[in-house]
Homo-oligomer: A and B are copies of this chain.
Amino acid sequence: METHNASTHEFDAAIALTPTGDGGFTGRTHPAYGNMVGPFGGVIGATLLNAVMSDPALLGDPVSLTVHYAAPIADGGFMVRARPLRTNRTTQHWSVELTQEGQVAAFATAVTALRRDTWSATDARFPDVPAASGLAEAPAIPRAAWTSRYEMRFIDGGPDSAVQDGHPSQSRLWIRDQPPRPLDFVSLSALCDAFFPRLFVRRPKWVPIGTVALTTYFHADAARLQAQGTEPLLGIAKALHFGQGFFDQSAEVWSSDGKLLAATHQVVYFKE
């Protein structure tokens, strides 16, 4: 197994930003993370988070990230600009915009915070599931390059498995970067958008579809993510409601040793 470090992995090339000297950045979509049309949204969100985390004014670690996919993003270059809207003693609120040809194509808001030890408890439950090593790797989808950048091993709700455990749109899978890359906030934020649209799990019919807005809550600090290394993460994704052109889906992302690292929620447009 080959492990790439952060400086040589294609993910890092895909989210790379170049300072423009006036506080902004330029970036460029990367073919390794292409989607059927334009770039994979998870990498766009990670790029916006990267702008926040690259800012000299940054306070602490990401606590929440909301990404709006406002319009189709064309393959090629873009501009990114992050602004702290409010800085408190231990928390900071951010706004980030990605523009192409002067128009906003994506934007994000984020909360970062200095975290410290407090009382803790996890009410969500880590399920009893087989280890990743005993499960087959799902094939990538040739028309969506980004799917070959994640190793996905489905427990249920996968492309070749209609059986779910009690919830009709649920998938449970072990997932990690492909090739493996040590986990950090930017890669975790992208992975939170790597759960296939629940509509396709629920209803085997192809229709145009696209995430409109995605929110992720981070339940780990940098040290916890670092401890995860390149081990597979357990993802559990399910939808709540489909109707009138939109559905929502939520997912939990767990470390290999049963710690909840992130909870993520999104609303998705579908054509019919």
Contacts and interface: CB of A to CB of B under 8 A. Distances in A.
Interface SS, A side: strand
Nearest to A201: B123
A239 B123 contact: yes
Oligomeric state, in number of copies?
2
B243 A213 contact: no
Contact of A245 (B116, B212, B243, B252): B116
20 contacts: A63-B212, A63-B267, A68-B111, A93-B107, A118-B271, A119-B203, A119-B242, A119-B272, A120-B243, A121-B202, A122-B240, A123-B169, A123-B238, A123-B239, A124-B240, A213-B215, A215-B215, A217-B248, A250-B265, A263-B265
CB-CB nearest 7 A-B residue pairs:
A120-B243, A70-B86, A115-B244, A70-B93, A124-B240, A217-B248, A85-B104
Interface of A: 63-64, 66, 68, 70-71, 85-86, 88, 90-91, 93, 95, 97, 103-105, 107, 109, 111, 113, 115-124, 167-169, 198, 202-203, 212-213, 215, 217, 219, 221, 238-246, 248, 250, 252, 260, 263, 265, 267, 269-272
